[in-house]
């Protein structure tokens, strides 16, 4: 059976260059970096190198990089850590209605535990946040704004740099009035492969990313923390990661994410090819499948994301039929694929539940070929026709 993987937003294959880099840290250089002997020093040197590699990519200082188990932990640490560190009474967090579940759930826990309140900004029909809505939502007790850079479901790119400028303006006024700073965080997991992640250009204080989205093994991530930002740890243990992330380092994973991020700019040489395949796929679906609708913005869209709703089709049924033909896709975020509820992202964009349930996400990668896209289109057209015949449409 032919196999086509179109779920790169969920996870990516490990790059061979990354695998070669990390293998010695399983078999030969296995010391604990907290140990003072030679094995331990060898491990800490590898971590320091990886920290420099990530810092070079983000255009920041190595001391501003924290290694975590992934973006979920990075997002949790940011949201809960900033709230814990603030002296503001009844601190307020601002986020959007289409964030990743780990951000929404972290905010929900803060409300449940009565340590913060949360304000949600809406998005337009393309899933885009208006920076002025952020400006209007900020209150005296606002301590953090968290907006995702590129949406994991519909691929919408948020105007992070513009939001950063708005927050910078507000912070100038707050400083004059002796009000605490509003920190700005972005979950850049889906954006790292494709968009500018220079933290100065974005105007962010915190930035999260995951290794397994950039051709590194699962279980390692990064949190950028701008120097001077007030944040407390949320788990106790040793003093690793500047006393902010206790626990023995995942040395192979950290070495891997350092190597993987050093390869991102090289991999971006294929971005135009990926975007061309994406646009080809979008155009072919619209041309050949009636009652199909592209979800999200076509202009402000990640180069690898194709998300469609097919009227009258049950998304899960279509997914399984494609899987039987060797084509791996998603009905939304991999983290929420077990949920029977319609996508909160599509719902927030004003898409009715019956249409949201008919959505499929295709995400391309550097290994994707036109032959694979043509095969997928052929099978997709056949299966949708069959499903419509079954339903009597």
Coil vs helix vs strand at 150: strand
pLDDT one-digit tens code per residue, 319-348: 999 999 999 999 864 454 455 678 999 999
Mean pLDDT on 257-269: 95
Predicted pLDDT at 336: 46
pLDDT one-digit tens code per residue, 89-137: 999 999 999 999 999 999 989 889 989 999 999 999 999 999 999 999 9
Q: Are 257 and 220 in contact (CB under 8 A)?
A: yes
Same domain, 244 and 308: no
Same domain, 240 and 368: no
Q: Which of 152, 145, 149 is nearest to 161 (CA)?
A: 149
Instruction: State percent of the chain over pLDDT 90.
Output: 87
Domain end point (choices 212, 236, 265): 265
Same domain, 242 and 154: yes
pTM of the model: 0.95
What interhelical angle do 370-391 and 315-324 show, nearest 10?
Answer: 130
Domain end point (choices 216, 243, 265): 265
Same domain, 22 and 128: yes
Same domain, 103 and 199: yes
Q: Which of 5, 14, 10 is nearest to 215 (CA)?
A: 14
Mean pLDDT on 242-254: 95
Q: Which of 230, 224, 182, 229 is nearest to 206 (CA)?
A: 224
Domain containing residue 60: 16-265
Domain end point (choices 211, 243, 265): 265
User: Residue 300: pLDDT above 70?
Assistant: yes
Same domain, 276 and 248: no
Same domain, 362 and 260: no
Same domain, 216 and 335: no
Same domain, 247 and 279: no
CATH of the domain at 290: 3.90.1150.10
Of 60, 197, 216, 335, which residue is the catalytic one? 335
User: What is the distance between the alpha carbons of residues 221 and 135, in angstroms, rounded to a whole number?
Assistant: 30
Q: Which of 101, 100, 99, 108 is nearest to 80 (CA)?
A: 108
User: What is the distance between the alpha carbons of residues 34 and 104, in angstroms, rounded to a whole number?
Assistant: 34
pLDDT one-digit tens code per residue, 35-88: 999 999 999 999 999 999 999 999 999 999 999 999 999 999 999 999 999 999
* Mean of pLDDT over the chain: 94
User: E strands of the chain, at which residues?
Assistant: 4-5, 65-68, 92-96, 117-121, 142-146, 183-187, 206-210, 221-225, 292-294, 305-310, 327-328, 359-363
Predicted pLDDT at 393: 60
CATH of the domain at 180: 3.40.640.10
Burial track 161-190 (b if 16+ CB lie within 10 A, e otherwise): bbbbebbeebbeebeeeeebbbbbbbbbbb
Judge whether 335 counts as a catalytic residue. Answer: yes
What total number of domains does the chain contain?
2
Predicted pLDDT at 178: 86
Residues with Cβ within 8 Å of residue 67, at least 6 apart in sequence: 47, 50, 51, 220, 221, 222, 241, 245, 249, 250, 254, 257
Same domain, 233 and 275: no
Same domain, 132 and 38: yes
How many CB atoms neighbour CB 198 within 10 A? 13
Residues with Cβ within 8 Å of residue 11, at least 6 apart in sequence: 212, 213, 218, 334
How many CB atoms neighbour CB 341 within 10 A? 10
Mean pLDDT on 135-163: 97
Same domain, 343 and 382: yes
């Amino acid at each position: 059976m032919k196999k086509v993987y179109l779920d790169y937003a969920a996870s990516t294959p490990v790059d061979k260059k990354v695998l070669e880099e990390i293998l010695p840290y399983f078999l030969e250089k296995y010391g604990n970096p907290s140990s003072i002997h030679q094995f331990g020093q060898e491990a800490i040197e590898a971590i320091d190198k990886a920290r420099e590699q990530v810092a070079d990519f983000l255009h920041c200082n190595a001391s501003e990089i924290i290694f975590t188990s992934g973006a979920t932990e990075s997002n949790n640490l940011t949201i809960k850590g900033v709230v814990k560190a603030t002296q503001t009474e009844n601190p307020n967090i601002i986020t959007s209605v289409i964030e990743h579940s780990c951000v929404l759930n972290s905010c929900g826990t803060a409300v449940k535990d009565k340590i913060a309140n949360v304000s949600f900004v809406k998005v337009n029909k393309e899933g885009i946040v208006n920076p002025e809505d952020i400006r209007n939502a900020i209150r005296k007790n606002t301590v953090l704004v968290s907006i995702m850079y590129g949406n994991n479901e519909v691929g919408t790119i948020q105007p992070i740099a513009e939001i950063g400028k708005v927050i910078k303006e507000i912070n100038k006024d707050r400083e004059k009035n002796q009000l605490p700073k509003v920190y700005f965080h972005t979950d850049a997991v889906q954006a790292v492969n494709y968009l500018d992640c220079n933290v100065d250009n974005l105007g962010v204080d915190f930035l999260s990313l995951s290794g397994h989205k950039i051709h590194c093994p699962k279980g390692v991530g990064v949190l950028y923390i701008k120097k001077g930002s007030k944040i407390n740890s949320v788990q106790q243990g040793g003093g690793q990661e500047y006393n902010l992330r206790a626990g023995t380092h995942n040395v192979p994973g950290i070495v891997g994410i350092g190597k993987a991020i050093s390869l991102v700019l090289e991999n971006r040489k294929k971005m135009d090819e990926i975007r061309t395949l994406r646009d080809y796929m979008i155009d072919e679906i619209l041309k050949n499948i009636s009652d199909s609708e592209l979800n999200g913005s076509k202009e402000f869209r990640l180069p690898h994301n194709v998300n469609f709703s097919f009227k009258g089709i049950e998304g899960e049924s279509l997914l399984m039929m494609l899987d039987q033909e060797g084509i791996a896709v998603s009905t939304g975020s991999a983290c929420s694929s077990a949920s029977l509820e319609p996508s909160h992202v599509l719902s927030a964009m004003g898409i009715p539940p019956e249409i949201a349930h008919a959505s499929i996400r295709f995400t391309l990668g550097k290994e994707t070929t036109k032959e694979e896209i043509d095969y997928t289109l052929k099978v997709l057209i056949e299966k949708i026709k069959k499903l419509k015949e079954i339903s009597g449409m």
